Amino acid sequence: MTCMKPTFQKVGIVGAGAMGRGIAQVAAQAGSEVLLFDVQVGAALSAQVAVFSQWDKLCDKGRLDAARAASYKARLLCADSLAELSGSDLIVEAIVERLDVKANLFTELESTIRPSAVLATNTSSLSVTAIAARLKRPERFAGYHFFNPVPLMKVVEVIAGLKTSASVCTDLAAYARQMGHTPVQAQDSPGFIVNHAGRGYGTEALRIVSEGIADFATIDRILKDQIGFKLGPFELMDLTALDVSHPVMESIYHQYFEEPRYRPSVITAQRLAGGVVGKKVGEGFYRYVNGIAQISPEAAVPQVDEMPPVWVSPRAARRAELLLLLKNLGARIETGAAPSAQALSFVAPLGFDVTTVAVVERLDPARTIGIDMLVEDAASKRRVLATNPATRTDMRDAAHALMARDGKAVSVIRDSGGFVSQRVVATIVNIASDMCQQAICSPADLETAVTLGLGYPLGPLAMGNLYGPANVLEVLFNMQTVYGDPRYRPSPWLRRRGAIGVSLMHEEE
Ligand code: NAI
């Protein structure tokens, strides 16, 4: 919303669907003259009507003055043919997501446009380099990836194909700022930044469900209350809908030649096949009544008449904090080198399962419970406990009741290498670290893209720094031992920084 001359005075938009109309709106607001074209008769006109009504609504709310709205409207026009776009300084394509159709469109455009004009695609999953492969001048072609809804999602990925010239990216980035958006620069690679960095959240949560560790609602609660995500992974998948998100998971996995880190889940494949895709059909991971998710209540806090004494493993993470917490909760704390025959033993591993820890520390597994201490207790709205296959019910109930004494929510899950938050955080941080290792983008752009594009409470690298790069590294090392699965192997970027305690944002000289 600037009065200065925009970097691109005349902008053509091809495709007037959800994305094209949004891009047309912000481009007109930036001061450009916008021509909107769609192959479907009447589509450009109805997009124009929709954008005009957006501006009218803003005027009604007093957030836009009438004179300015009129100037925006005067700058957003419809074209009847592609040829009318030939005078454009920039053409942004937002048509159907098919490589052949997009490549044909750009070949046709190239024969009519000015030599100085820039061509851009809003593709979210195709290779920018591949779309440009048949162009005579691929150096003036780039990816310009907006998010839906465009006026509200204030981030744009500027993607350089193999032959894109640096000045084209600089101009597109400057223009993004004029549209009120924040540009981030990405290398042409599957998923670019946001859709690549977003792989960890859902896939690891699905993995946890598939192992029977916890149900959907418990995982959503834990990640919202412990880490601060606005939506749990299953709420998010219900909102996005699996007919959109499952194909993205498969596509990125295959485009990276079956890299185990991005392996999709059979759970979503099956739900997609069964049409249980999310909120829009009334049923996904949750059932929806009048658009409201039906969530079963949490298990009640058990009634425990006699609380056993408690003992804390000397190797527990945040041991001093855990002891203080137990004291504040009024527990009888044993201080011996080993637990007494009555004691409930708390272990707090990072990445290891409770079972392994009980065996290694020669504890009675029937009286051993795990607690996730990755997150500082004061910073978390929930405590998470894990049983092992031998944990006695009375011991589980005692731990639950004790940890709920001050009113804080408690979830009890089954044993797993790494608790829910440890697994999901470590996976997110590891994928982000590997993106930095591959130089897909700068650490700063990664953080910006993820916070604006995915709405995470923190960028993945800042999240890793908050919980400690060394802790995240430990979770991954130990999970790799528990599962023997290459998906948990730490990225060299994280290994180096975690090992010497340097910020994950730190770029090497
Ligand atoms: P849409 O289906 O709402 O709109 C596409 C429009 O393009 C339709 O109006 C269609 O008639 C028109 N069209 C198709 N082929 C054409 C051609 N050859 N010439 C001119 N017009 C043509 O699709 P949407 O959601 O707006 O997506 C458009 C592009 O943006 C796709 O490449 C998609 O991957 C990408 N994208 C979509 C996002 C989303 O959340 N919907 C987010 C980011 C990128």
Helix (H) or strand (E) holding 472: helix 469-483
Give the model confidence (pLDDT) of 162-189 as tens digits: 999 999 999 999 999 999 999 999 999 9
As a whole number of angstroms, the distance between CA 168 and CA 44 comes to: 27
pLDDT of residue 508: 86
- The chain-wide mean pLDDT, for the chain, equals 97
Q: 255 lies in a domain?
A: yes
Tell me which of 413, 438, 470 is where a domain ends: 413
Spatial distance between the Cα atoms of 435 and 16, rounded to a whole number of angstroms: 33
Residue 301 forms part of a structural domain: no
Separation of CA 411 from chain center? 24
Does residue 363 share a domain with residue 279? no
Q: Is residue 218 included in any domain, yes or no?
A: yes
Hey, what's the torsion of the CAs at 167, 173, 177, 182, to 10 degrees? Answer: -160
Query: Do residues 321 and 403 both lie within one domain?
Result: yes
Which DSSP letter does residue 283 get? Answer: B
AA identity, residue 46: S
* Assigned domain for 173 exists: yes
The rounded percent of the chain whose pLDDT value lies above 90 is 99
Distances (CA, A) of 128 to 102, 122, 159, 163, 457: 10, 9, 7, 10, 30
| Domain identity same for 102 and 176 | yes
Is residue 430 annotated as part of the catalytic site, yes or no? no
pLDDT score of 413: 98
CA nearest neighbour of 210 among 485, 489, 490: 485
pLDDT exceeds cutoff 80 at 1: no
Ligand 1 geometric centre to CA of 214 (Å): 38
Q: Is 52 a member of any domain?
A: yes
User: Which ranges in 183-278 belong to alpha helices (H)?
Assistant: 194-197, 199-210, 216-222, 233-240, 242-255, 266-273
Averaged pLDDT, 141-155: 97
41 CB contacts (<8 Å, ≥6 apart)? none
Q: How far, in whole angstroms, is CA 487 from its chain's centroid?
A: 18
Express each pLDDT in 94-146 by its tens digit. Answer: 999 999 999 999 999 999 999 999 999 999 999 999 999 999 999 999 999 99
Give the tokens for residue 110: 């190239």
Specify the length of the chain in residues. Answer: 509
390-408 mean pLDDT: 98
101 close to ligand 1 (CB < 6 Angstrom) = yes
Domain boundary among 268, 294, 320: 294
Q: Domain boundary at 139, 158, 188, which?
A: 188
- Does 282 lie in the same domain as 203? yes
Inside any domain, residue 45: yes
Put the strands of the sheet holding 118-121 in their side by side order. 76-78, 33-37, 10-14, 90-93, 118-121, 141-145, 155-160, 182-187
Average pLDDT for 286-305: 96
pTM above 0.85, yes or no: yes
- Name residue, tokens 């996005």: 240
Q: Which of 13, 19, 84 to mutate to test the pocket of ligand 1 (most atoms within 8 A of CB)?
A: 19
Q: Tell me the pLDDT tens digit for each residue of 235-290.
A: 999 999 999 999 999 999 999 999 999 999 999 999 999 999 999 999 999 999 99
**Ligand 1 center from residue 21 Cα (angstroms):** 10
In sequence order, what DSSP letters do the residues of 325-385 get, joined into one string?
HHHHTT--B--SSS--TTPEEEE--SSS-HHHHHHHTT--GGGEEEE--SS-GGG-SEEEE
| Domain span including residue 158 | 10-188
Question: What is the 146 CA–ligand 1 centroid distance (Å)?
Answer: 12
- 114 and 53 together in one domain: yes
Q: Is the CB of 95 under 6 A from ligand 1?
A: yes
Token readout for 209 is 């469900």
> What is the domain-level CATH number for residue 384?
3.40.50.720
Q: Measured between alpha carbons, how far is 217 from 229 in angstroms, rounded to an integer?
A: 14
For 412, the token pair is 């009890």
Place of tokens 């750009």: 106
Q: What pLDDT was estimated at residue 3?
A: 57
Residues 273 and 321 both lie in one domain? no
- CATH at 212: 1.10.1040.50
CA 202 to chain centre: 8
pLDDT at 509 over 90: no
- The question of whether 246 is a catalytic residue gets the answer no
Is 303 part of any domain?
no
Q: What is the mean pLDDT of residues 220-236?
A: 98
**For range 10-15, the mean pLDDT:** 98
pLDDT given for residue 2 in this prediction = 47
Residue 58 maps to a domain? yes
pLDDT of residue 4: 80
The count of structural domains within the chain is 3
Task: Output the six-digit token pair for 187.
Answer: 């290398």
